[in-house]
Structure 1
Amino acid sequence: MAKTRLCIVTHTFLPHVGGIEIVTNEQSKRLIHKNYAPTIVTNRINTPKHYVVDGVPVDCYESLNTGFRLGIPYSIPTVGSFPTFTKAVKNSHIVHAHGHPYLTSLLAGRLAKLYGKPFVLTQHNTFIDYNNIFNEVEKFNDVSVGKQNLRNADKIICISSATKDYVLRLGAKPSKVQVIYNGVDLARFRPIKGKKEEMRRKLGIPKDAVVILTVRRLVYKNGVDTLLDCANIAVKKNPKIFFVAVGKGPDLENVRAQVASLGINGNFKLTGFVSDTDLASYYNLADMFVLPSKSGEGLPLVALEAMACGVPVIATEVGGIAEIPVREFGKLVPPNQPQRLAEAVLEFAKAGFSRQEEMRANVEKRFSWDANVEQLMKIYEELI
């Protein structure tokens, strides 16, 4: 039986790491075993023109990446990229793009219509507050490129009810929209015996420390200022609390300087980039995970990964975060309120946590990549 060929368009892909990249990878590497033949079409950022990830071919287009240098992950495909897109769309049975605001999604959608191919669009986030002039650019982009992509799509997949509400406000037809939750790789993200002690020795963290972890790009929307203020409050009330921030980003050096200025160097470690293969070890290091986001959250994978590793989450109530079982096993607090976040951290540090197995079972039941892909295939089958 001939395989259904998929053209999957994403503005970035592995080895660049982010939510869209992980979702695209987790889905595509399962689809190749389900009578589908996906090809990823993505931005070329320090990669070969063609490469393979987990058995899935990747074709790169050339683009202007000025936004990336400013901390805004937005690429503008060049005229030279058109042959790559055209070939991929023509050779496919279905075109599936990720992200409503991207010009790459617009180009893929237009070509899909031109060549009579069904067009699927996945939306991953709500409105992102950059706290600068890019907010106005984003609003304009939403009502121009974004709305056109939503009109072009035959089906719109949203990763949470929050993202569904967002696209409906932008004018998406309700009949087109379906929520499919992301999953978590339970084989990778799990409690690992002895890893907590091993990682504490490696990082020079005391055995009796209460470790608060975050895994985030260090940018405004992810609440780095809230995190720093929270750490300053919590550490000064309980010196056994130790923060570990995994990730890089345009604000890394600024955060490093602020940690020094606050005088919390001894209780706050910035690791910089950590590879995907090592990430589970860092989750296992922690007693708690904090997610101090300001905006834009669809369904944050890092929260699911932490919970799968047995680590409770304290998060701000932003976007789709409340759709993850944070409230059941951790704590939700308002955004931009470091005092409230610190109080929750101090409360958990004092009380401890003993519901690891129950929490992991809850995540396993509700957030499965296999279930995600089964729902995705049903959409594909309806469109062919």
Structure 2
Amino acid sequence: MVLYKLLSVTDLTTNTVDVISLTDIGSTGKKIETLGVPVRALNMRGGIGNLLLVLKLATWLKRSKPDIIQTWMYHADLLGGIAAKFAGGIPLAWGIHNSNLNPALSKRSTIWTAKLCAMFSHWLPSKIVCVSDGARNAHEAIGYSAEKMTLIPNGIDTAAFKPNRDCRISVRQELGIGRNTILIGLIARFDPQKDHHSFIKAAKLLSSFYPKAHFLLCGDGIDWENENLVSWIDNEGLRRCFHLLGLRDDIPRLTAALDIASSSSFGESFSLTLGEAMAC
């Protein structure tokens, strides 16, 4: 969703932008298409076939001849970097948002891909953009090129994220709860790193002190059809006070309605949602 936000404020009359997903287009890709930005998908699924798809990516890059490529996340950094070299050495900037590579908490494939990125960081990217000192330090420690690192903190759109009492009232009306009900939120897609399970356990503890508090969750995969998420909520007996809103377009409104915004993620180097909440 960060990419969508960036593109929504980009002057597309003077800048030509293409977006390529390693997997599928997904809901975010469809939103980006509404801006008039073309989105293509490689539909990678794992296995040796990915090598052929890297060549396909390189062919796309040769044809479009971009001035610069930016990749986010380890697999995209590595494969996008290799494709950029095959396409003629197009300038490449890697993006790093993660600060936790603990083997006990991260997938083995993620750890190994990050280590490969560290090895190739001295050759593939022109720049490595980190959103925090924590991200930079964590990746320098595993061998990333310190010379190529640069820090660009996450930015907050304070025109969109700001205090708004009307939002507080309207969101509570939508949820069917009282105007003075304490509302605690976690805005994040359903992903192991976001650790919704810990948030739900914390909600159980808090409910013993504040039984009238309610909890708002939203993001991709956050709905009552998510069996794992729903089972965690039901196991704690909290269905009555949880609101699962799915993927939303009105995040500034929901954020302004919260009494407490939280993050249970174990890998955020600079939580964008907490920064946005602080502006509200």
TM-score range for the pair, normalised by the shorter chain length: 0.7 to 0.9
* Seq. identity, %: 22
Which residue identity is paired with 2:252? A
**Candidates 138, 141, 162, aligned match of 2:113:** 141
Q: Superposed, which structure 2 residues align to 1:76-91 within 5 Å?
A: 77=50, 79-80=52-53, 82-89=55-62, 91=65
Structure 2: 5+ residue runs without aligned partners?
none
Structure 2 match to 1:350: none
Q: Does residue 118 of structure 1 match 2:91?
A: yes
Structure 2 match to 1:173: 145
Deviation at 1:211, TM superposition (A): 1.0
Structure 1: 5+ residue runs without aligned partners?
1-16, 68-75, 311-384
Which residue identity is paired with 2:201? D
Sort the Cα spacing of 1:274 and 1:87 in 2 relative to 1 into closer, same or farther, 3 A: closer
**Candidates 254, 271, 275, aligned match of 1:304:** 275
Q: Superposed, which structure 2 residues align to 1:180-219 within 5 Å?
A: 180-219=152-191
Structure 2 match to 1:330: none
Structure 1 match to 2:200: 228
Q: Does residue 258 of structure 1 match 2:239?
A: no
Give me the TM-score of the superposition, normalised by structure 1. Answer: 0.62
Structure 2 match to 1:380: none
Which residue identity is paired with 1:220? P
Deviation at 1:63, TM superposition (A): 2.4
Q: Classify the secondary structure of the residue corresponding to 2:147.
A: helix
Structure 1 match to 2:41: 61
Sort the Cα spacing of 1:160 and 1:27 in 2 relative to 1 into closer, same or farther, 3 A: same
Q: Is the 8 A contact 2:181 2:214 kept in 1?
A: yes
Kindly tell me the number of residue pairs found equivalent between the two proteins.
272
Distance 2:46 2:244 in 1: 26
Q: Classify the secondary structure of the residue corresponding to 2:231.
A: helix
Distance 2:9 2:53 in 1: 31
Distance 1:89 1:284 in 2: 45
Which ranges of 4 or more aligned residues in structure 1 deviate by more than 4 Å? Answer: 28-31, 46-49, 128-132
Distance 1:78 1:46 in 2: 22
Which residue identity is paired with 2:35? D
String of CA shifts for 1:289-325, please: whole Å, max 9, x gaps: 11122x22122211122222x2xxxxxxxxxxxxxxx
Deviation at 1:124, TM superposition (A): 1.8
Q: Does residue 240 of structure 1 match 2:219?
A: no
Which residue identity is paired with 1:62? L
Sort the Cα spacing of 1:204 and 1:40 in 2 relative to 1 into closer, same or farther, 3 A: same
Deviation at 1:209, TM superposition (A): 1.3
Distance 2:110 2:182 in 1: 39
Structure that is richer in strand per residue: 1
String of CA shifts for 1:231-252, please: whole Å, max 9, x gaps: 1111111223222222354994
Distance 1:194 1:28 in 2: 28
String of CA shifts for 1:263-301, please: whole Å, max 9, x gaps: 233222223x132x22222212211111122x2212221
Deviation at 1:178, TM superposition (A): 0.5
Sort the Cα spacing of 1:53 and 1:180 in 2 relative to 1 into closer, same or farther, 3 A: farther
Sort the Cα spacing of 1:173 and 1:283 in 2 relative to 1 into closer, same or farther, 3 A: same
Distance 1:167 1:248 in 2: 28
Sort the Cα spacing of 1:34 and 1:279 in 2 relative to 1 into closer, same or farther, 3 A: same
CA RMSD across the alignment: 3.1
Deviation at 1:198, TM superposition (A): 1.7
Which residue identity is paired with 1:116? G
